[in-house]
Amino acid sequence: MSKISISRRAITGSLLLMPFTGLAQASGDPSSYDYSDTREVVGLVQDAAHMLATQGTAAFDEFAQPGSRWRHGTSYIYVFTANGDCLFNSGQPGLVGKNLADYRDVGGRAVVRELMGIAASPDPNADGWVFFLFQEGNVLTPVWKIAYNAKTTLPDGTVVVVGSGRSSLKTERSFVIDRVDEAARLLERAGRNEAFKAITDPASHFNFLGSYIFVLDTQGHALVDPSFPNMPGRDLSSMTDAIGRPYVRELLSKLEKGDTASSLFFWRANPNDVPQRKAIYARKVNSDGTDYVVGTEYMLPTPLWMK
């Protein structure tokens, strides 16, 4: 089986600081995404980055205008320096002037350090997606927020990261592939013990958007299964979906012929619920002479023909 060699647009940092490994691989080309609202956010942030590069902090006045493309509803622009200082945030102006390098979301994720990782990249056009839990408005419970971020340089030479997020964005297939492939790279590079510890950490970026990373052996036995952490080794190969389809067996069969595989299945949260469509993506990886299956399940928010 071939080694995993997936290019990234940014540097990988030390395991302690992890300045960039927590980010989903991004593309600054809006057309590379499946959903129109994702493309809109990418275009917005790219345009903001260009304005900052040409106008500097004078662009803040325009970013702050209510009802503009930069500031409407719960959508707004924020700007951070390379060391975590908040330069601008029209959604939460009270944060401006504060150093938020140690800020963590309610799940323990070091959100601003991920932005600092983008700034630390040698790529002048580095970018990345950050997923975090956010207390939005008067909503009782935190919601997942998806934020696109881009590095740019102000006319005075200051390196900054500009971004914008939404709680309404759909899960792009590229988000899922990136998380799974990163977990597979970690398992391949660091070995089973270190990788399993990182993958099962609830504050890690492997717990994202209501999904999590699992690891199976090639026979379908669960080695890492955050949904049932107290049932290691359970056999998933015979599992069927809401219409009786043996989707795990189908996935394993596909992985006998290639290093990656996807499968669709129908899922019910409760027995009387209408079945919902879910997808599963997995990658086969070898670590210390043993083959593993690393993957995740995720909801399909809407048919692709309803983009």
What length does the chain have?
Answer: 307
Determine contact, residues 151/127, Cβ cutoff 8 Å: yes
167 contacts: CB under 8 Å, gap ≥ 6: 74, 134, 136, 143, 144, 145, 146
Answering whether pTM is above 0.75, one says yes
Strand partners of residue 277: 266
Identical fold between 30-166 and 173-306:
yes
* Neighbouring C-beta atoms of residue 142, cutoff 10 Å: 15
Q: What is the CATH architecture of 173-306?
A: 2-Layer Sandwich (3.30)
Fold of 30-166: Beta-Lactamase (3.30.450)
pLDDT, one tens digit per residue, over 178-217 is: 999 999 999 999 999 999 999 999 899 899 998 999 999 9
What is the pLDDT at residue 14? 30
Tell me: pLDDT of 23 over 70. Answer: no
Is residue 20 within 8 Å of residue 10, measured between CB atoms? Answer: yes
Share of the chain above pLDDT 70, in %: 89
Give me the amino acid identity at 239: M
Domain residue extents for the chain: 30-166, 173-306
Instruction: Give tens-digit pLDDT for 146-171.
Output: 999 999 999 999 999 999 999 989 99
Strand boundaries in 169-245, DSSP class E = 207-208, 211-212, 214-217, 222-224
Asked if 191 and 287 count as a contact pair (C-beta separation under 8 A), the reply is: yes
